[in-house]
Chains A and B, each alone.
Chain A
């Protein structure tokens, strides 16, 4: 029970807590205000979405949530692309990207927290699990931030590669959801590396949240991932020049 809560919280929160330190490495004037405003945007978004969550899930023959996530992921991907193309609107795009990622995480957590409603003893487990999960995620964020700050001094490519990995993750996630609702065909899996690194292991969860690790990817997903990654790097290189 507890371990599952921790796993779910970590899995759902990690993408945000990996995106956050990367975006905060951009040169901003006042980071605190940026975060506060992002929080406000995300909270406002969640206040709008949460009451409609059931309705959203029922849309499009029960595929509404997937479509909604695809929309959010696409917007997030566009934000990251825009951020790589030009730093001129970096404050707005960063806030939007963070707010989108927060909303994605929050929807998953809201759905999960519904499971403990009316179950005796589940809330305690939920709180402890949430504390553990949040602690792990924020520690990773702090360490990633400091590590990136260190790496950034050696090469500005580190930031570009991190952004590219995260963007590639969003696109492969979106493609996975498209396959799930049968918009694009599901091809045979290219390999199965679950023996090497299972997706449900701690490292697997971390890698999935970071760059979208899949133990059993199919060709479309892999191509989308690689395409986005290379596109992001090319854009970054153009900006670096």
Chain B
């Protein structure tokens, strides 16, 4: 048991050290995900920082992503994903599934670049983007 625990830690540290993952943030406030539509690149390893600004815990759950991650009130958690196939991956908060709903959109390379370009343009023209 002891040996395998040590091995586990090594693996864990190793993977952290190697990870050059793009990070996306997903905020939780009033049991709402923002953004509710999170666009990420497909085919890449990414991580999503889940920031819970509510006082109660929430469980990020996605059946299509095979993820189930508890984040306590007023704290953060990291979800490691990918590489993902292009497509839509719905997710929800297990403890408030009516309001905490969202979808992760994995875009293929070309679309992802187009999306990023649009994002920057949007930011320049200061057009508010409502999800």
- Could you tell me which A residues sit within 8 Å of B by CB distance? 1, 4, 8, 54, 57-58, 60-63, 65-67, 70-71, 74, 111-112, 114-119, 176, 179-184, 186, 188-189, 192, 194, 198-200, 214-218, 221
Are A61 and B78 touching (Cβ within 8 A)? yes
Residue ID in chain B nearest A183 by CB atoms: B11
Are B55 and A218 touching (Cβ within 8 A)? no
Are A216 and B63 touching (Cβ within 8 A)? yes
Are A114 and B63 touching (Cβ within 8 A)? no
Are A4 and B95 touching (Cβ within 8 A)? yes
Residue ID in chain B nearest A54 by CB atoms: B72
A selection of 26 A-B contacts at a CB cut-off of 8 Å is A4-B95, A54-B72, A57-B72, A58-B75, A61-B16, A62-B75, A62-B78, A111-B59, A111-B70, A112-B94, A112-B95, A115-B95, A118-B56, A180-B67, A180-B79, A181-B80, A182-B15, A183-B8, A183-B15, A186-B81, A189-B85, A192-B64, A214-B66, A215-B64, A216-B63, A217-B66
Are A194 and B96 touching (Cβ within 8 A)? no
Are A199 and B63 touching (Cβ within 8 A)? yes
Are B57 and A115 touching (Cβ within 8 A)? yes
Residues of B near A54 (CB, < 8 A) are 72
Q: Is B77 an interface residue (CB 8 A)?
A: yes
Q: Is B82 an interface residue (CB 8 A)?
A: yes
Q: Which of B38-80 contact A (CB under 8 A)?
A: 47, 55-59, 63-64, 66-73, 75-80
Kindly provide the distance from the CB of A8 to the nearest chain B CB, expressed in whole angstroms.
7
Distance, CA A154 to CA B51, complexed state (A): 54
Q: Is B97 an interface residue (CB 8 A)?
A: yes
Kindly provide the distance from the CB of A12 to the nearest chain B CB, expressed in whole angstroms.
10
Are A117 and B56 touching (Cβ within 8 A)? yes
Q: Is B19 an interface residue (CB 8 A)?
A: yes
Residues of B near A65 (CB, < 8 A) are 70
Residues of A near B80 (CB, < 8 A) are 180-182, 186
Distance, CA A179 to CA B1, complexed state (A): 20
Are A60 and B12 touching (Cβ within 8 A)? yes
Indicate whether A119 sits within 8 Å of B19 (C-beta atoms), given known contacts A57-B70, A180-B79, A186-B81. Answer: no
Among candidates A112, A118, A176, A200, residue contacting B66 with C-beta atoms closer than 8 Å: A176
Distance, CA A22 to CA B57, complexed state (A): 33
Distance, CA A215 to CA B79, complexed state (A): 20
Are B57 and A183 touching (Cβ within 8 A)? no
Among candidates B47, B56, B77, residue contacting A114 with C-beta atoms closer than 8 Å: B56
Residues of B near A74 (CB, < 8 A) are 1, 4
Of listed A118, A189, A217, residue having the most chain B CB within 10 A: A189
